[in-house]
Amino acid sequence: RGLRVSDRGFLNTAVIESAITYIDGEQGILRYRGYPIEQLAENSTFLECAYLLIYGALPTRGQLAHFEREVLLHGIMHADATEFFGAFRYDAHPMAMLTSAFAYLGSYYGEANPSLQGQTLYTKCAKGDPEALRNMDKQIFRLIGKATTLAAMAYRVRQGREFVVPPTGMSYTESFLYQLDHLSPTDSFSASSSASSSPSPYKPHPVLARALDILFILHADHEMNASSTTVLQTGSSLPDPYSAVAAGCASLYGPLHGGANEAVIRMLVAIGSPENVPAYLAAVKRREKVLSGFGHRVYKTSDPRSFIIRKIADEVFAVTGPDPLLDTAMALHDAALKDEYFVSRKLGPNVDFWSGLIYRAMGFPMDFFPVLFVVPRVVGWVAHWRQMMLSPEGVKIWRPKQIYVGPSERPYASLDERK
Ligand code: CMC
């Protein structure tokens, strides 16, 4: 009653107080728990940043070792998951498989569902009950650990290849690359494996593994983006965190959120070569096309992540060889930054402008790009979820208002009376 204005797209609604990620869109600043993203990308690792985002401080050596051990240990999936994934069509979209797989995880861990615990579990967590907090940590380790395993399973289903058990003695991103591309003894197209029953000695390239680790750092959190908001909205009715993460995964699947780097590749392919860049930009200015990978709802200058990614791209191309689309990408980037249309609208490159080229050079198919966004973003989702569950005021169900614009009261008409 009395509500006259809605906030379409939540442009002006702050839904939560958060101490996790700070963004200044005018200055191009991104910080996790106060640490500049540039310093984290230079010095940290993905799992160290994960700890920072979730628990609020950089870990000590002992805390980091414990966190890494728990996350990597929980990467192992129950053998039944093979049957679950086997039920998907060979050409299912990997995001559809991954979204379902996160919800499927919830079927294993009833102890994480407060509705099965008389709604007391997270109240106990908020009061600092050690056992309840250990329970919560375990779900967090599982979600981060299993994200790579499930993503790798979705990848290999598409190729009709056996699943790979997560290896030991590797970092998070090395383990992920290993699970994606390791040739199992029965891989029919592996010449070396058909000659021997021992697994091939595949080891991810250190430069590519570090590049992916930095990309994961950059994608780990971005405050109230659509998928993190979805995780909190879902989490606010107190389901298990697997269900909340599945909802976040579904949100990220949409092309307005997780699909922009794929759109950049399609755009570059369509442009074809640097000579065609001016014609493309002219079409953008006539509003017939969009310059994918440029512009951002929050950043009104260049996205700070785009500078870091540009550097990683060079390091990756030094290993893989340059992508044939690179010259076109550079010509487009440089021309847009000099063009009055884009300058006056404060449209700079965002995180997606270069990331698709890196993923392509590393051999990932385009429909796998959003999966490479989900895996690190699981960390942001659980950091926000944990913060909300531990909030001293308790969790309040997210139930926004609407402005009703439908008919006023009218009498029911029987089928015969209707025209
Ligand atoms: N190409 C052409 N014109 C653009 C673009 C673009 N990429 N982005 C914005 N504009 C124009 C827009 O039409 C508007 O012009 P005018 O004032 O003359 O009507 C002006 O620039 C201001 O745009 P805005 O209102 O600030 O943009 P928004 O906040 O509504 O949309 C956006 C943000 C990201 C959806 C948009 O910039 C876009 O569609 N970009 C291309 C898709 C893309 O790269 N998305 C990835 C975002 S980063 C991912 C992440 O961080 O999660």
This model of the complex carries an ipTM of 0.96
Strands in 21-24's sheet, in edge-to-edge order, are 21-24, 29-32, 35-36
Which of 75, 74, 30, 33 is CA-nearest to residue 50? Answer: 33
What is the structure's pLDDT at 191?
A: 39
Angle subtended by helix axes 130-159 and 94-106, to nearest 10: 150
CA–CA gap between residue 383 and residue 371 (Å, rounded): 19
Pairing of strands 21-24, 35-36: unpaired
Supply the mean pLDDT for the chain: 91
Which residue bears the tokens 């755009």? 267
Catalytic residue among 296, 303, 323, 384: 296
Per residue in 278-299, pLDDT (tens digit) is 999 999 999 999 999 999 888 9
Per-residue model confidence (pLDDT) at position 194:
41
Question: Residue 125 pLDDT > 90, yes or no?
Answer: no
Return the ligand 1 atom nearest residue 256 CA: 45
| Closest alpha carbon to 242 in 120, 382, 133, 373 | 382
Say whether 74 is catalytic: no
> Best of 252, 291, 296 to mutate for ligand 1, by most ligand atoms within 8 A of CB?
296
- Does 384 participate in catalysis according to the annotation? no
Q: What is the pLDDT of residues 193-216, one digit of tens each?
A: 444 444 556 788 999 999 999 999
| Section 335-354 average pLDDT | 93
Q: Whose C-alpha lies nearest to ligand 1, atom 30?
A: 297
Share of the chain above pLDDT 90, in %: 72
Closest Cα to atom 46 of ligand 1? 260
- In this prediction the pTM is 0.91
From 36-40, 185-189, 305-309, 370-374, the region with the lowest mean pLDDT: 185-189
Checking if the pLDDT of 259 tops 70, the result is yes
Per-residue pLDDT reduced to its tens digit, 380-395: 999 999 999 999 888 9
Q: Which of 235, 249, 237, 251 is nearest to 386 (CA)?
A: 235
What one-letter code names the amino acid at 345? R
pLDDT given at position 183: 59
Q: How far is the CA of 40 from the centre of ligand 1 (A)?
A: 27
The residue whose C-alpha atom lies closest to atom 3 belonging to ligand 1 is 290
